[in-house]
Structure 1
Amino acid sequence: MSTPVDDPLGRERSHLAQSRAALRAMREDAESLDISDVTANWVNAQILERQIGERIKALADLSDTPLFFGRLDYLHAPGVDLAEGAEGERFYIGRRHVHDQGGDPMVIDWRAPVSQPFYRASKKDPMDIALRRRFGYTRGDITAYEDEHLSDPTEPSGAATTSKLLQQEIERPRVGPMRDIVATIQPEQDEIVRSGLGGTVCVQGGPGTGKTAVGLHRVAYLLYAHRERLARTGTLVIGPNRSFLHYIEQVLPALGELAVKQATVDDLVAGKVEVRGTDEAAAAVIKGDARMAEVLRRAVYSHVTLPTEPVVVVRGSRRWRVPAYELEDIVRELLDRDIRYGAARDALPQRIAHAVLVQMERSGEAPDDRVQDAVARNSAVKAAVKEIWPPVDPARLVLRLLTDADFLAVHADGVLDEDEQKTILAALPGSGKRAARSVKSAKWSAADAVLIDEATDVVERTHSLGHVVLDEAQDLSPMQYRAVGRRCTTGSATVLGDLAQGTTPWATRSWDEALAHLGKADGVIEELTAGFRVPTDVITYASRLLPHIAPGLTPVASVRENPGFFEVREIGGTAEVVAACEVVAACEELLANEGSTGLIAADARIPVLAEALAAAGIGYLAPGEETTEETRLTLVPASLAKGLEYDYVVLDEPQAVVDGEPDERTGLRRLYVGLTRAVSGLIVTHAGPLPRELAG
């Protein structure tokens, strides 16, 4: 069906229909592949079948997700010398590459170099772009477009006008999991997204600056630009909790990336022991201190004993004697090499066997490698290795450190003072050698599991990935940073966080310090200060807390045109049930709007609010559960609000949120998090007085 020349919207709709048809054809081609006679064996066949299956999934056409969101009209063909006068080309920019049967591109992947001007070009630097077009969609259909003539000399080159379509996309109501921002990435965000694989980037970003989305899009970009390398080495996204990971889990698949794994720090260090206990804050802070790494290193290597007896190897009628002083030289040389404890232990029998072979050669024999291996397996050599360099069980070692005062005192001497030693000794019940044999029955905490992971790495090297994204990093302890850093020693990292939102007793004090613990001291620190999510009135109110929780941090400046809805509402009555009913009434008001609503309250207030919601017949979800059109209210304990967002939020009793934390500063940070979860509107309800820091 032909489209009239004077109907540009019709032509764009036609191109969308043709692109969808081309994507279906690409998927059908993948589904019809016959690999029965292609592979040499069944193993290769299974691998190829899995790869084809992933390709088919990646080619899925999501009906409610626009196939392309922009268009670039180049003045000249990209990559061609401008002096040659090559005619310009037109490219549609989308979430994935789509080509027709002849191989010509219908949609260009947003990560391709030719797509970069869509995010970076401006009137001051048009990047050879004549026109940039943005598309507006309604339920997957193109309904509007907006043009910028970047190279037109007749148009003013002053400040660019705000894109209405861009604003509409940013302010679109949130229902369901987090969505990608591929159509709205800003220039400063794009610079971070496209930064190279070789370097580590740390992004300090206040609420609503898009730091999480930037980190996820950087993963997608790196997988595009370095797919072969990262396919071998792997990528990982680390979040603060399962609710958060569930919330973000659809972003990368929507961009066509299905192979990225997700985990919490607790997941990383799990497996050695079962975590069944919790630490008091004081013990957790010490266990999370980087000094514990030195205590563990000393404890591991304390098992090495310098030899005092020779090793005598009998082969046939000959006896070969390696004297104690020569064995000592071998052991000291291995210690000086500073290699892993287990690697050195594996090397020791070969070194002893080599010393025997030297004697054999001096006596006129001609031994080969098979003889050396046989000597290394000799019972006398094995016995000597077991005596000199015994195996170490990391969990048993950590248990002994945390229960045996004398053992801890020896290895913490000059590192932890006596009070600190007593604090961590009191954290895990039991003492002495009897406790050291009860690894399974000990009530391990999350901090203990990190210590075991550290000790394990002293014994044997942890597998390193190609790239790791660490989100909400401000809440990690130094030892947790080290655990993450071990997973990317030969790779790079993207660190995301906000110092003002640190709510743990060991919260990060500076990003330079955090990067040093991560093993990436040369990482680049970037700051995002433009807020795309939180309305102006809301972020201004929440920023009253910044001087008290993060002095010197730049407040977020909202760029949203819609000022949003904001109200501080004092509710009547002192009875808890009455107050809860008024909070529920505020939720009902907000549920009359389109989008999701979150009711955030101090953890201790959750049961009474849950009861009031049930009495009012209002269904609600737990954090991380996906909102639907039928159930759009989520009841959120303040301790789980970090990283989540809702169109509308009711925040109940700010002072109760503050009082729910062990100290006031942590409580104010928890409150700052809760206040900044709203995308369109916020109602703060309180029966008691507000925190004095919010006055003004």
Structure 2
Amino acid sequence: MPDASALDELEREREHLESARAALARMREQTLSLKVQAHDPISAEHLARTLHLRAASLEDDPSTTLFFGRVDTDGSQSDQGPESWHIGRRHVADEHGDPMVIDWRAQMSTAFYRASRTDPMGVVLRRRFGLDHGRITAYEDEHLQDVREHEVRSQILAEEIERPRVGPMRDIVATIQPEQDEIVRAGADRTICVQGAPGTGKTAVGLHRAAWLLYAFRDKLARSGVLVIGPNRAFLEHIGAVLPALGEVAVGHTTIEELVASVPVRGTDPTETAVLKGDARLAEVLRRAVWSAVGTATEPLVVPRGVRKWRVPAYEVTEIVEELRARGVRYDAARQMLPQRLAHTVLLKMEAAGDSPDDRVQDSVARSAVVKKYVNAIWPALDAKAVLFDVLSDAEALARHADGLLSEDEQRVLLWDKPARTKGSARWSHADTVLLDELADHISRTPSLGHVVLDEAQDLSPMQLRAVGRRCSTGAATVLGDIAQGTTPWATDSWESSLEHLGKPGSHVEVLDRGFRVPASVIEYAARLLPHMAQGLGAPVSVRDNPGRLDLVPVSGDVAARVAEVVATESAEPGSVGVIAPDASVGVVSKALQDNGIEHGVLGQDHGDIDHQVDIVPASVAKGLEFDRVVVVEPAEIAAAEPDARTGLRRLYVVLTRAVSALTVVHAQPLPAELTD
């Protein structure tokens, strides 16, 4: 039973929490009370938006606490002497401006995550709080400089990691580990690639790095923007609450398909064609197609001015055109320079004849109908859809642009079997939208964001990676993934290669292999697949005391009915339940649950885990998701649905590693041999 002094200390911490909540409410009220005063409508709108976002970031969530930890220092790391700081999700100050809670992203919070007995970083005491629905229930102290106290694993930390959840992914600010914190606080100019096994928290690390960057480099990134790119909409809905919970409400979330969407997708490509369209060689094919539109001057430019005509010989025009082509700028940028360059040449001829023209004359010549018509003939305006239409529908054009890059067989694979008569009738595929995005960038530069977080990056083709890289060409990126979980036909086997296609060669690759989310019994079972699909990758190591639960349930009768029985049992306990089934069986499993009165969502068809304890998850969209308990239906069928054996095993590896506490495998078909070895 806790002693009286411990109970008194617990009560003091609870009082501090209530005071901090009142202070946060006052901060928000002050923000809402501010009046927008500006000299012009644009400034007023910008200021109003800034105040709105500030107020949104100060909203209190009563289901969580404002702080989760505390550090007491000995004063050796500062000039202020010994200090005590509560660490939380955002900064909270009292009415005098003194901090009551320190933002977890502040420099002084680093010691909470990284201090150890070997390097206490000036910390005398680290305190973690046990929490339940926004209330402090307990605390746990580590005396890092007390040599008499032995290091023990934090029970509060373990309980927080394993705490059941229903709904979207939560933040991990209370449980960030030292190796994760190193990644989170990497500088804004550094691109970091995280190779993370299932359960190592790589997605959470990427999101928390975005939050830290927005805190540490607010002015820069608020202007240039931060974007999170995930594999599908179900995944984005799953992670969508993390950054708002950390006070960051202005971060974009998208999929790679949405990122490059410029035309309706009405067509599909055979796997061989899609793989080829994702090949990096297509970038050069398309570059040639764009620049081949620049013609050769065969006639002089003749510009009438008053009673005189000024003549620029064809050879001089050719020299100007070649110089612009060699400048390394985009097609349209060079095209826009050409009228001024031609007008300047006319200006020089006027001066040589004794005239004294000024810049207004040059601008007038550049805008004249004669010069515009001449430029359009030599350097025509381009439309990305028209260029790609010609490449995919005209064998001679493709052969010309692909000479030395693609074989004749590869060119035949690319060409449409039944060419559309016009670009308006073309049935563009998802792979085509990536090519259109590449073409658009060759024509006119794609604006760059300040930072991009790219999750499940192992599944992107070289051309998709180039599309993402264009969005962070002047910024950095956080690249997250696991080569063992690559399930596309073009999935990478090398992060170095992926980073090169992204435009970030030589970036640091960090390996996370300590599993905090997936229990040992589950990860060891799934790791049986690794030698057969990802040689050279080590199995992740679960660091949790609780080994979790693994049940294999063979069925001789109705599999869906047995799944419903298992789900009924699993859903009787708190926490989320994910039923991962072959895509083709989702409807049958859903009907079985419905017939048994089990409320559930279906990811990909509705908002799933936001509204339901139980979700049915098609195997193809399971990547990146996690549930307290997972029921996997027919592993052999899940693997067989993929185009080849290796991809099938990788898909199965993804599916088997979504459980935080327990995994149940229900099957009538024999399990894959790789799992029974």
Same fold (TM over 0.5): yes
Aligned to 1:672: 653
8 A Cα contact 1:646 1:678, kept in partner: yes
Aligned to 1:479: 463
Counterpart residue type for residue 194 of structure 2: V
Distance in structure 2 (CA, Å) of the matches to 1:406 and 1:368: 48
Question: For residues 448-487 of structure 1, what are the structure 2 equivalents within 5 Å?
Answer: 448-487=432-471
Q: CA deviation at 1:77?
A: 6.5
* 1:249 is aligned to 2:240: yes
Distance in structure 2 (CA, Å) of the matches to 1:418 and 1:619: 55
Aligned to 1:425: 415
Distance in structure 2 (CA, Å) of the matches to 1:631 and 1:6: 38
Question: For residues 21-420 of structure 1, what are the structure 2 equivalents within 5 Å?
Answer: 21-35=22-36, 38-76=37-75, 78-80=77-79, 86-156=80-150, 160-271=151-262, 273-420=263-410
Q: CA deviation at 1:34?
A: 2.6
Q: Could you say what secondary structure the match of 2:414 adopts?
A: helix
Q: CA deviation at 1:628?
A: 7.1
Q: Deviations over 1:192-248 (max 9, x none)?
A: 000000010000001110000000000000000000000111110001111111111
Distance in structure 2 (CA, Å) of the matches to 1:146 and 1:652: 41
Aligned to 1:517: 501
8 A Cα contact 1:179 1:251, kept in partner: yes
8 A Cα contact 2:238 2:625, kept in partner: yes
Distance in structure 2 (CA, Å) of the matches to 1:549 and 1:489: 33
- Larger mean CA deviation between 115-124 and 390-399 belongs to 390-399
* 1:684 is aligned to 2:668: no
> Which among 537, 556, 559 is matched to residue 540 of structure 2?
556
Q: Deviations over 1:79-119 (max 9, x none)?
A: 32xxxxx5201000000000001000000000000000000
Distance in structure 1 (CA, Å) of the matches to 2:553 and 2:6: 56
TM-score normalised per structure 1: 0.95
* 1:586 is aligned to 2:587: no
Q: CA deviation at 1:44?
A: 2.0
> Which among 625, 636, 642 is matched to residue 655 of structure 1?
636
TM-score normalised per structure 2: 0.97
Counterpart residue type for residue 199 of structure 1: R
Q: Could you say what secondary structure the match of 2:101 adopts?
A: strand
Counterpart residue type for residue 498 of structure 2: A
Query: Superposition RMSD on alpha carbons, in Å?
Result: 1.5
Distance in structure 1 (CA, Å) of the matches to 2:437 and 2:35: 46
Q: Could you say what secondary structure the match of 1:325 adopts?
A: helix
Q: Could you say what secondary structure the match of 1:7 adopts?
A: helix
Distance in structure 2 (CA, Å) of the matches to 1:188 and 1:234: 26
Distance in structure 1 (CA, Å) of the matches to 2:671 and 2:49: 57
The change in CA–CA distance for 1:567 and 1:4 in structure 2 (over 3 A counts) is: closer
Aligned to 1:636: 617
8 A Cα contact 1:175 1:627, kept in partner: no
- Larger mean CA deviation between 380-389 and 528-537 belongs to 380-389
Distance in structure 1 (CA, Å) of the matches to 2:63 and 2:554: 41
Aligned to 1:613: 593
Gaps of 5+ in 1: 81-85
Q: Could you say what secondary structure the match of 1:47 adopts?
A: helix
Distance in structure 2 (CA, Å) of the matches to 1:127 and 1:256: 28
8 A Cα contact 2:631 2:665, kept in partner: yes
Distance in structure 2 (CA, Å) of the matches to 1:4 and 1:52: 44
Counterpart residue type for residue 282 of structure 1: E
Q: CA deviation at 1:4?
A: 7.9
Q: Deviations over 1:240-281 (max 9, x none)?
A: 11111111110000000011111111111112x111111111
Q: Deviations over 1:53-85 (max 9, x none)?
A: 1111111110011100000101007432xxxxx
Gaps of 5+ in 2: none
Distance in structure 2 (CA, Å) of the matches to 1:180 and 1:32: 30
- Larger mean CA deviation between 559-568 and 629-638 belongs to 629-638
The change in CA–CA distance for 1:489 and 1:683 in structure 2 (over 3 A counts) is: same
8 A Cα contact 1:177 1:627, kept in partner: no
* 1:540 is aligned to 2:540: no
Q: Could you say what secondary structure the match of 1:370 adopts?
A: helix
Q: CA deviation at 1:496?
A: 0.3
Distance in structure 1 (CA, Å) of the matches to 2:235 and 2:582: 18
Distance in structure 2 (CA, Å) of the matches to 1:484 and 1:87: 47
Distance in structure 1 (CA, Å) of the matches to 2:611 and 2:196: 33
Q: CA deviation at 1:33?
A: 1.5
